[in-house]
């Protein structure tokens, strides 16, 4: 097959790799198998599903290395045992369930492209219809992969008070407080999301230094007296105008000499690379009315409009960047 045909084939069939994983996670196939070996009939009974359906699904999951098949019976592969059980050490189940939710929403891409924004009810990142708990748990799965590196690169020496705006499950605030013993952090988010954050803060034993503040970043002030304001994977949910207003609110809340740090997916001036960021732009098109991936230059323009000076930019976690502004 020539290269052009091969590329089209790969792209048009790519979804078939994800669909069995999402169905398996949604139906609870991996959880139901646990450490056991079960026939497709036994598994179908446990899952209250059709034996034919479960056999087809499990055969595909076997071909994808997520199950192993022995005669007519299936067991979790090492990959599934490590990543797809709720209490597995490297569990990514919440993130996979998040992917399953996005998979449905991405089906509306052509309509969203015509409209120029989401055609669906509710946004996974905000709004009344989302499952805040599931969303926050997925964010925690992602955050745990990067929090240590961000804590190291952000520069916490001398930071006494910080606020994590849209801080979700609190994973970053917890990592920062662990690294800097004199740091007091506030996690600012919606009340439902902060329930997850409070559980994580309690589990980390940091209730004395990490607190929560419910609020709406589009309308509420953040308080005052902060040395650092952190916005991680937050500005991509909003339009440029909304972000300019959020950064202006950050500028008002900072101490003189304090810094704002925007962490988000890096995208170059062409807006076509890296691939993950270009695809993330699609995620914002189908899920939000104004969200986007923003270039470092666009973020710096919000800083300058708010009276902050551009401080520095640092690559982080593979495809993200930390962009710092400072209040003189």
Residues of this chain that interact with ligand SAM (CB under 6 A) are 125-126, 136, 139, 142-143, 166-168, 189-190, 193, 216-218, 232-234, 237
User: In this structure, what are the phi and psi dihedrals at residue 212, rounded to the nearest 5 degrees?
Assistant: -125, 150
In the complex with ligand SAM, the residue whose CB is nearer, 33 or 186, is: 186
Q: How far is the CB of 171 from ligand SAM (least distance, A)?
A: 6
In the complex with ligand SAM, the residue whose CB is nearer, 54 or 95, is: 95
Query: How far apart are alpha carbons 197 and 168 in whole angstroms?
Result: 7
Q: How far is the CB of 190 from ligand SAM (least distance, A)?
A: 5
260 neighbors 292 (Cβ within 8 angstroms): no
Q: How far is the CB of 306 from ligand SAM (least distance, A)?
A: 18
Q: Is the dihedral of CA 166, 172, 174, 179 positive or negative?
A: negative
Q: How far is the CB of 234 from ligand SAM (least distance, A)?
A: 5
Q: How far is the CB of 153 from ligand SAM (least distance, A)?
A: 15
Beta strands in the chain (DSSP E): 38-39, 67-70, 73-76, 161-165, 184-189, 210-214, 226-232, 254-265, 309-316, 320-326
Query: How far apart are alpha carbons 292 and 137 in whole angstroms?
Result: 22
In the complex with ligand SAM, the residue whose CB is nearer, 237 or 321, is: 237
Pick from 274, 165, 156: which is nearest to 216 by CA? 165
User: In this structure, what are the phi and psi dihedrals at residue 7, rounded to the nearest 5 degrees?
Assistant: -65, -45
Helices 93-106 and 132-154 pack at an angle, to 10 degrees, of 110
Query: How far apart are alpha carbons 49 and 224 in whole angstroms?
Result: 55
In the complex with ligand SAM, the residue whose CB is nearer, 152 or 216, is: 216
Q: How far is the CB of 150 from ligand SAM (least distance, A)?
A: 9
In the complex with ligand SAM, the residue whose CB is nearer, 166 or 258, is: 166
In the complex with ligand SAM, the residue whose CB is nearer, 73 or 193, is: 193
Sort residue 197 into left (φ over 0), alpha (ψ -120 to 50) or beta.
Answer: alpha
Query: How far apart are alpha carbons 295 and 198 in whole angstroms?
Result: 33
In the complex with ligand SAM, the residue whose CB is nearer, 20 or 125, is: 125
For the record, the structure tokens of 176 come out as 């920062």
Q: How far is the CB of 218 from ligand SAM (least distance, A)?
A: 5
């Amino acid at each position: 097959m020539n290269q052009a045909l091969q590329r089209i084939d790969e792209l048009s069939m790519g979804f078939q790799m994800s669909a069995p994983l999402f169905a398996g996670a949604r139906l609870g196939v991996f959880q139901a198998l646990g450490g056991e070996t079960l026939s497709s009939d036994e598994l179908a009974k446990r899952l209250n599903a059709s034996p034919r359906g479960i056999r087809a699904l499990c055969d595909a999951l076997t071909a994808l290395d997520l199950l192993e098949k022995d005669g007519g019976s299936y067991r979790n592969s090492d990959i599934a045992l490590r990543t797809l059980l709720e209490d597995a050490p490297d569990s990514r189940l919440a993130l996979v369930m998040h992917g399953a939710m996005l998979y449905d929403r991405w089906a509306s891409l052509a309509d969203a492209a015509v409209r120029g924004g989401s055609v669906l009810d509710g946004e996974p990142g905000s709004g009344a219809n989302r499952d805040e708990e599931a969303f926050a748990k997925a964010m925690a799965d992602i955050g745990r992969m990067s929090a240590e590196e961000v804590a190291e690169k952000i520069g916490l020496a001398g930071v006494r008070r910080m606020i994590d705006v849209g801080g979700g499950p609190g994973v970053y605030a917890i990592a920062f407080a662990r690294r800097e013993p004199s740091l007091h952090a506030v996690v600012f988010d919606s009340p439902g999301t902060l329930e997850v954050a409070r559980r994580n803060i309690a589990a980390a034993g940091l209730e004395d230094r990490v607190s929560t503040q419910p609020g709406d970043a589009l309308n509420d002030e953040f308080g005052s007296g902060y040395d650092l304001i952190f916005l991680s994977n937050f500005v991509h949910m909003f339009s440029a105008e909304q972000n300019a207003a959020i950064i202006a609110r950050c500028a008002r809340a900072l101490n003189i000499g304090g810094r704002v740090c925007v962490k988000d997916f890096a995208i170059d001036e062409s807006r076509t690379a890296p691939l993950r960021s270009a695809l993330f732009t699609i995620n914002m098109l189908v899920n939000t009315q104004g969200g986007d991936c923003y270039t470092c230059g666009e973020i710096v323009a919000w800083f300058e409009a708010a009276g902050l000076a551009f401080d520095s930019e640092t690559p982080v976690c593979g495809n993200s960047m930390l962009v710092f502004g400072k209040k003189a």
